[in-house]
């Protein structure tokens, strides 16, 4: 009913509140700090903010385990300061979307507490409580994604409850209409406050196959997925939320969808279909240096990355709308993964171009815009993330150094170190004792320095985002990849109403010769963005320096 197309012309900035900016000196990022930094966010050239969870939470999974959906965590502030941030953002023309985590709650949520204290309570059926199988066996053979088996025993009930993620994240039973009423209440609460939509956490997991059958033919670690990913009532549930709530507001949704493939994505986001969701986050391009999870590392493969990018561009463009991202709070920093810390500036800019010039709505994660890199800590106790600790514990037979090397490479903690604002104490993040280690490279890498340096990654992001706004072909153009076999260059073309864009990204740390694809005369193109000084073009070729990127516009 409402005009829900505005999200196509936007770029978002993602804030993971705990590490963004501490405004009251207790070492934990908060809404007071965010309020101070609204001007900075606006200056990047984004049009909206996605807040990772701000709600009351015991932080077993840093906010993704919610104990009260309608209150701001006292660590982050209260509703009053939230409203101030919301109004401040809106005044600057920034939209605001909230994280909606409804696959599970915290075990400290009132619903769960009531459900375990009394089997006859209505809240008992808000979750999946099951008897064990004879012989003391678990209710089924599924795996949890975060902590061993997904069944936790409650002696008080003599029952187990299901948790696909951590033990402290019991899954909600969405088949129960009362649970869906609660979800709608939560949605209305925040939309009535004036927010502009939701990022929906692991939304494709909320419908489980009835009976929770034993898994067969699924590899260890993934058992049960075919019974809870894209389950039988997904469209029904999302349709209900849309009809009864979302359609009454001028808002948008972006669903997080692990394991997603484009054809199934279209069943959710096709504009000619039910369109349960406006946008979707897929993971395929985040697996160019690993197998399904960051904890099964592989050497970086540019061809794998390009296949993932191009597959989504080809399948979704024209039918739905893509999201574009290469960082968030769930993955290590991209320069440390797909780029090079040695060529940090060059590769940081090249990686920005690799995704920002595709068709879709970009999401930029805090610190990405200043080129932050991974942290390397000494012992497992220095790491905070439940997943890192669990992966460490699982590898009982591995030597310590091997385990730590994996954690350093794969942990989400690398994306969760405090934002580096300045070369001052604690990188300008807090006057107090920071809740988590500040990356020691903050004197070299920080927003203040990036801001004043014309050649910085930050100013490069600003320019790229400005170009997106000024140049219709970047927003609306079709997509075509060139040289898809190349292990050195990622090259793509965009085309819109006779105007063409050629995007060239070198993923090599040495000099390489680039030859223009047929149909482009580089000498006639307008070089609108690059990360090196011009060097001569000869015979429609040039020598690309390490991680060089160029964007040419033709026929404007």
Q: Does 413 bind ligand GLC (CB under 6 A)?
A: no
What crossing angle do the helices spanning 302-316 and 262-269 adopt, rounded to 10°?
A: 30
Q: Which of residues 446-505 bind ligand GLC (CB under 6 A)?
A: none
Q: Does 26 bind Ca ion (CB under 5 A)?
A: yes
Beta carbons of 514 and 544 less than 8 angstroms apart: yes
Nearer to ligand GLC, 22 or 256 (CB): 256
Q: Which of 295, 289, 298, 297 is nearest to 326 (CA)?
A: 289
Residue range at the interface with Ca ion (CB under 5 A); choices 25-33, 94-102, 371-379, 526-534: 25-33
Nearer to Ca ion, 25 or 273 (CB): 25
C-alpha span between 552 and 233 (Å, rounded): 46
* 232-251 footprint of Ca ion as x/- string (CB under 5 A): --------------------
Helices (H), ranges, 382-483: 386-394, 400-410, 447-452, 457-470, 472-476
Exactly one of 14, 17, 20, 22 binds Ca ion (CB under 5 A); that residue is: 22
* 58-77 footprint of ligand GLC as x/- string (CB under 6 A): ---x--x-------------
Nearer to ligand GLC, 38 or 222 (CB): 222
For residue 469, what are the β-bridge partners? none
Q: Which residue, judged by CB position, is nearest to ligand GLC in the bound state?
A: 64
C-alpha span between 41 and 59 (Å, rounded): 26
- The three-state secondary structure class of 498 is coil
Q: Which does 22 bind (CB under 5 to 8 A by kind): ligand GLC, Ca ion, none?
A: Ca ion
The count of chain residues that interact with Ca ion, using the rule CB under 5 A, is 5
C-alpha span between 315 and 305 (Å, rounded): 16
Please state the closest distance from residue 77 (CB atom) to Ca ion, in A: 8
With residue 42 as reference, give the H or E element that holds it.
helix 38-44
CA 300 vs CA 309, 388, 491: distances in Å: 15, 21, 18
* 96-125 footprint of ligand GLC as x/- string (CB under 6 A): -----x------------------------
C-alpha span between 279 and 265 (Å, rounded): 9
Q: Does 201 bind ligand GLC (CB under 6 A)?
A: yes
C-alpha span between 254 and 321 (Å, rounded): 11
Q: Which does 330 bind (CB under 5 to 8 A by kind): ligand GLC, Ca ion, none?
A: ligand GLC
Residue range at the interface with Ca ion (CB under 5 A); choices 18-26, 248-256, 269-277, 525-533: 18-26
Catalytic residues: 201, 256
Exactly one of 202, 280, 445, 522 binds ligand GLC (CB under 6 A); that residue is: 202
Q: Which does 450 bind (CB under 5 to 8 A by kind): ligand GLC, Ca ion, none?
A: none
* 322-351 footprint of ligand GLC as x/- string (CB under 6 A): -------xx---------------------
Nearer to Ca ion, 24 or 376 (CB): 24
Q: Which does 201 bind (CB under 5 to 8 A by kind): ligand GLC, Ca ion, none?
A: ligand GLC
537's tokens: 């073009």
120 CB neighbour count, 10 Å cutoff: 5
C-alpha span between 18 and 416 (Å, rounded): 8
Nearer to ligand GLC, 170 or 371 (CB): 170
Beta carbons of 279 and 361 less than 8 angstroms apart: yes
Q: Which of 206, 224, 195 is nearest to 48 (CA)?
A: 195
Beta carbons of 406 and 295 less than 8 angstroms apart: yes
66 CB neighbour count, 10 Å cutoff: 28
CA torsion sign for 288, 294, 296, 300 is: positive
Q: Which does 26 bind (CB under 5 to 8 A by kind): Ca ion, ligand GLC, none?
A: Ca ion
Using CB under 6 A, list all residues that contact ligand GLC.
61, 64, 101, 165, 201-202, 256, 329-330
Query: What is the contact surface with Ca ion in residues (CB under 5 A)?
Result: 22, 24, 26, 28, 30
């Amino acid at each position: 009913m409402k005009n829900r197309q505005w999200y196509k012309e936007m770029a978002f900035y993602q804030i993971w509140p705990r590490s963004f900016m501490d405004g009251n000196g207790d070492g934990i990022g908060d809404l007071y700090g965010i309020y101070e930094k609204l001007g900075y966010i606006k200056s990047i050239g984004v049009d909206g903010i996605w807040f990772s969870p701000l709600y009351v939470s015991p932080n077993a999974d840093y906010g993704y385990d919610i104990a009260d959906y309608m209150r701001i965590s006292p660590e982050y502030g209260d509703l009053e300061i939230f409203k101030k941030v919301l109004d401040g953002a809106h005044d600057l023309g920034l939209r605001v979307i909230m994280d909606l985590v409804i696959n599970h709650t915290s075990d400290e949520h009132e619903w769960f507490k009531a459900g375990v204290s009394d089997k006859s309570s209505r809240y008992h059926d808000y979750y999946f409580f099951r008897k064990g199988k004879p012989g003391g066996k678990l209710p089924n053979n599924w795996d949890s994604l975060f902590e061993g088996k997904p069944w936790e025993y409650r002696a008080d009930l003599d029952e187990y409850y299901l948790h696909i993620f951590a033990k402290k994240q019991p899954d909600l039973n969405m088949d129960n209409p009362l649970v869906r009423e609660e979800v709608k209440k939560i949605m209305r609460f925040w939309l009535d406050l004036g927010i502009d939509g939701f990022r929906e956490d692991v939304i494709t997991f909320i419908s489980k196959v009835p009976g929770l059958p034993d898994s067969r033919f699924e590899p260890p670690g993934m058992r049960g997925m075919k019974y809870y990913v894209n389950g039988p009532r997904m469209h029904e549930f999302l349709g209900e939320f849309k009809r009864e709530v979302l359609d009454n507001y001028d808002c948008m949704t972006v669903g997080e969808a692990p394991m997603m493939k484009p054809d199934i994505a279209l069943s959710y986001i096709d504009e000619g279909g039910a369109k349960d969701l406006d946008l979707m986050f897929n993971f395929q391009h985040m697996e160019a240096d690993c197998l399904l999870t960051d904890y099964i590392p592989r050497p970086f493969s540019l061809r794998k990355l390009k296949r993932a990018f191009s597959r989504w561009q080809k399948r979704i463009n024209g039918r739905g709308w893509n999201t574009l991202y290469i960082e968030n709070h769930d993955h290590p920093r991209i320069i440390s993964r797909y780029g090079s810390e040695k060529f940090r500036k060059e590769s940081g800019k090249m990686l920005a171009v690799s995704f920002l010039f595709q068709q879709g709505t970009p999401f930029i994660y805090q610190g990405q815009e200043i080129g932050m890199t991974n942290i390397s800590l000494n012992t497992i106790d220095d790491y905070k993330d439940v997943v890192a600790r669990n992966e460490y514990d699982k590898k009982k037979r591995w030597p310590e150094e091997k385990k730590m090397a994996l954690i350093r490479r794969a942990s989400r903690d690398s994306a969760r170190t405090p934002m580096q604002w300045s070369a001052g104490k604690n990188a300008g993040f807090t006057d107090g004792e920071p809740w988590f280690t500040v990356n020691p490279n903050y004197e070299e890498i920080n927003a203040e320095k990036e801001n004043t340096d014309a050649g910085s990654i930050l100013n490069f992001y600003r320019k790229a985002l400005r170009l997106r706004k000024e140049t219709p072909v970047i927003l609306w153009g079709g997509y075509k990849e060139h040289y898809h076999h190349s292990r050195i260059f990622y090259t793509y073309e965009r085309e819109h109403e006779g105007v063409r864009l050629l995007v060239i990204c070198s993923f090599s740390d040495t000099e390489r010769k680039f030859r223009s694809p047929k149909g482009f005369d580089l000498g006639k193109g307008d070089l609108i963005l690059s990360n090196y000084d011009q060097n001569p073009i000869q015979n429609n070729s040039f020598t690309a320096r390490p991680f060089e990127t160029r964007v040419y516009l033709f026929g404007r």
